[in-house]
Amino acid sequence: MTQRIYIFDTTLRDGEQSPGASMNPEEKLRIAKQLEKLNVDVIEAGFPIASQGDFEAVATIAKEVRKPIIAGLARAQDSDIDRCWEAVKGAARPRIHTFIATSDIHLKHKLQKTRDEVLKEIERAVRRAKKYTPDVEFSAEDATRSNWDYLCKAFAVAIESGATTLNVPDTVGYTVPSEFGALIRHLRENVPGMDQVVISVHCHNDLGLAVPNSIAAIEAGARQIECTVNGIGERAGNASMEEIVMILKTRKDQLPYETGIVTEHIYPTSRLLSQITGMVVQPNKAIVGANAFAHEAGIHQHGVLQEKLTYEIMKPEDIGLLSNLLVMGKHSGRHAFRDRLKALGYDLPAGDLDKAFQQFKELADKKKEIYDEDLEAIVSEEILRIPEQYRLVSVHVTTGTDTQPQAKIVMEVEGTAMEGTQTGDGPVDAVYKTIAKMTKTKSKLLRYSVNAITGGTEAQGEVTVRLEEEGQTVIGQGAHTDILVASAKAYINGLNKMAYRKHRRRPRTGMVGP
Ligand code: KIV
Ligand code: ZN
């Protein structure tokens, strides 16, 4: 009989802890709504005590995303648990996820506590959480490097205290599939009451084994998998949600399990996340990488044209990938445009839709074939927009093999038109120096990357920049058929986000994350 595997998505918590993936509360809400469409079972929306922003994001998601369970993370401390409850209590189905480390390494060097003291903390934390909600998850951080007998005791205490889900994290990505499967079986056989709770696993990818370890755990009896979209997360990331889901779907003959995931939303979700965070998916990434369904070799192309089964084990449509097909053209109407955007996770209000449609028509005049990626680039300017302190009016650059590049930029700064000119080492450098001078920014440019959104010389170029100022980093993005215009737009978009963030910044709680 096929057994149900619960997908616990931690993109907004562990995923967001990965360098460069930080999102503001509005961006988190967009991702949470998309995760709801994907039909994940649990969304771990954040770590409420870590900052005011995290608290707000969790509380907003709890109120607005009603179908999945909404979990918040809390250390095994009263203040964390109380704050977590404040954030998740508005959810239709709230969960408190509390954790403490159980390995001797962590006990000695991080917690400076004895094993007995930690058992008492587990009991106190789970009981406190249980007073708020019946749905309490307990995680034994660094479980895979913990003493197995002690881990059994820790889980037994958590069950007696009322935990309903027990999570076994491979916090440092150290275990291997055979060992992890054996650990899960050992826990099932040795922890009283383990058959009454859901066993969960949470694997990190330091040795590239997060997905194989999760699959081994499922075969050994785990029923909840903690994972992230695109596998983002601390260091080398977490288990990739799309890989686990598609492994279970594609190899049902070997793995008789199913998830509730609507797989057609996988690709749009992956794109939305990388649009928002600016974290580009590596082209050869399984399932959602740009090359995952691209057949380059002639012999493969020939085979696939004759019969897809020759080289394709999954259908691109199953993950919602239609980008090999021409999706829109100059004659496409507003309805088709709106419907395709909806499928990509963008449900625009009428005013934004009109503006985006206008931009689409302008692009369609320049570019014959318009793909999903082009639509995303257009719409992200509408969707992810923030109040514009700076607005680009025009860019003019002279450059060549024997001329020093010079940029002339016209911009509106808080509604007033200004013009500036600078030279630079290259055309982009000239553009950036001009904008920096005009805006008097103190932000440092940490990263600049260009991506051709679709093939061909008339393709749109998508530029992503990462800026840093006073310890805050933001991502700026811009797309245009002219790469210098895209560069200017990305920089200005980043500067607008930085200005917006400064304006919104509120006093922090002074608490820190794990
Ligand atoms: O990796 C880890 O151990 C965690 C826990 C907080 C579940 O993220
Ligand atoms: Zn983790």
Are the CB atoms for 430 and 422 separated by under 8 Å? Answer: yes
Distance of CA 369 to the CA centre of its chain: 29
Residues with CB under 5 A from ligand 2 (ion): 14
Report CA(238)–ligand 2 centroid distance (Å): 7
- Ligand approaching nearest to the C-alpha of 44: 1
* Alpha-carbon span 89 to 77, nearest angstrom: 18
Report CA(169)–ligand 1 centroid distance (Å): 6
Which atom number of ligand 1 is nearest to the Cα of residue 142? Answer: 3
Identity (one letter) of the amino acid at 164?
A: T
Report CA(465)–ligand 2 centroid distance (Å): 27
Report CA(47)–ligand 1 centroid distance (Å): 11
Q: Which of 175, 202, 224, 228 to mutate to test the pocket of ligand 1 (most atoms within 8 A of CB)?
A: 202
Which atom number of ligand 1 is nearest to the Cα of residue 167? Answer: 7
Please return the burial class of 369, using the count of CB atoms within 10 Å of its CB with bins 0-12, 13-18 and 19+: middle
Tokens of 434: 């001009």
pLDDT of residue 510: 31
Q: Which of 11, 12, 73, 205 to mutate to test the pocket of ligand 1 (most atoms within 8 A of CB)?
A: 73
Are the CB atoms for 107 and 113 separated by under 8 Å? Answer: yes
Q: Which of 75, 77, 141 to mutate to test the pocket of ligand 1 (most atoms within 8 A of CB)?
A: 141
Max Cα-Cα span within the chain: 78
Which atom number of ligand 1 is nearest to the Cα of residue 17? Answer: 8
Q: Which of 14, 98, 214, 227 to mutate to test the pocket of ligand 1 (most atoms within 8 A of CB)?
A: 14
Which atom number of ligand 1 is nearest to the Cα of residue 226? Answer: 7
pLDDT of residue 506: 40
Report CA(335)–ligand 1 centroid distance (Å): 44
Angle of helix 78-88 versus helix 115-132 axis, rounded to 10: 30
**Per-residue pLDDT tens digits of the chain, which is 514 residues long:** 789 999 999 999 999 988 778 888 888 999 999 999 999 999 999 999 999 989 999 999 999 999 999 999 999 999 999 999 999 999 999 999 999 999 999 999 999 999 999 999 999 999 999 999 999 999 999 999 999 999 999 999 999 999 999 999 999 999 999 999 999 999 999 999 999 999 999 999 999 999 999 999 999 999 999 999 999 999 999 999 999 999 999 999 999 999 999 999 999 999 889 888 888 899 899 999 988 887 656 666 666 667 777 778 999 999 998 744 445 667 778 887 888 787 777 778 888 888 888 888 888 888 767 777 778 778 876 665 667 899 999 999 999 988 999 999 999 998 899 999 999 999 999 999 999 999 999 999 988 888 776 656 666 788 888 888 887 777 788 888 899 999 999 999 889 888 877 765 543 333 333 4
Report CA(257)–ligand 1 centroid distance (Å): 25
pLDDT of residue 365: 83
Q: Residues with beta carbon inside 6 Å of ligand 1? A: 14, 99, 139, 141, 167, 169, 171, 202, 204, 514
- Ligand approaching nearest to the C-alpha of 98: 1
Phi, psi of 142 (to 5 degrees): 60, 35
Are the CB atoms for 274 and 34 separated by under 8 Å? Answer: no
At 380 the three-state DSSP class reads: helix
CA-nearest residue for atom 1, ligand 1, is 171
Report CA(278)–ligand 1 centroid distance (Å): 24
pLDDT of residue 205: 98
Are the CB atoms for 456 and 475 separated by under 8 Å? Answer: no
CA-nearest residue for atom 8, ligand 1, is 14
- Listing from the earlier edge strand, what are the strands of the sheet with 416-423? 390-400, 403-413, 416-423
Q: How many residues does the chain have?
A: 514
Report CA(141)–ligand 1 centroid distance (Å): 6
Identity (one letter) of the amino acid at 28?
A: K
Phi, psi of 305 (to 5 degrees): -65, -40
Phi, psi of 133 (to 5 degrees): -150, 145
Report CA(102)–ligand 2 centroid distance (Å): 14
Q: How far is CA 408 from CA 435, 439, 444, in A?
A: 9, 14, 21
Give the CA-trace dihedral at 190, 193, 196, 200, to 10 degrees: -50
Phi, psi of 380 (to 5 degrees): -65, -25
Which atom number of ligand 1 is nearest to the Cα of residue 204? Answer: 1
Supply angle C-alpha 191, 182, 112, rounded to 5.
Answer: 60
Please return the burial class of 313, using the count of CB atoms within 10 Å of its CB with bins 0-12, 13-18 and 19+: exposed
Report CA(125)–ligand 1 centroid distance (Å): 16
Please return the burial class of 18, using the count of CB atoms within 10 Å of its CB with bins 0-12, 13-18 and 19+: buried
Which residue intervals of 278-411 are DSSP H helices?
Answer: 298-306, 334-343, 350-366, 372-383
* Alpha-carbon span 116 to 312, nearest angstrom: 54
Which atom number of ligand 1 is nearest to the Cα of residue 139? Answer: 7
Phi, psi of 194 (to 5 degrees): -65, -25
Supply angle C-alpha 115, 121, 123, rounded to 5.
Answer: 110
pLDDT of residue 308: 74
CA-nearest residue for atom 5, ligand 1, is 141
pLDDT of residue 509: 30
At 214 the three-state DSSP class reads: helix
Which atom number of ligand 1 is nearest to the Cα of residue 99? Answer: 6
Of 90, 246, 225, nearest in space to 169 by CA: 225
At 388 the three-state DSSP class reads: coil
Supply angle C-alpha 45, 50, 52, rounded to 5.
Answer: 85
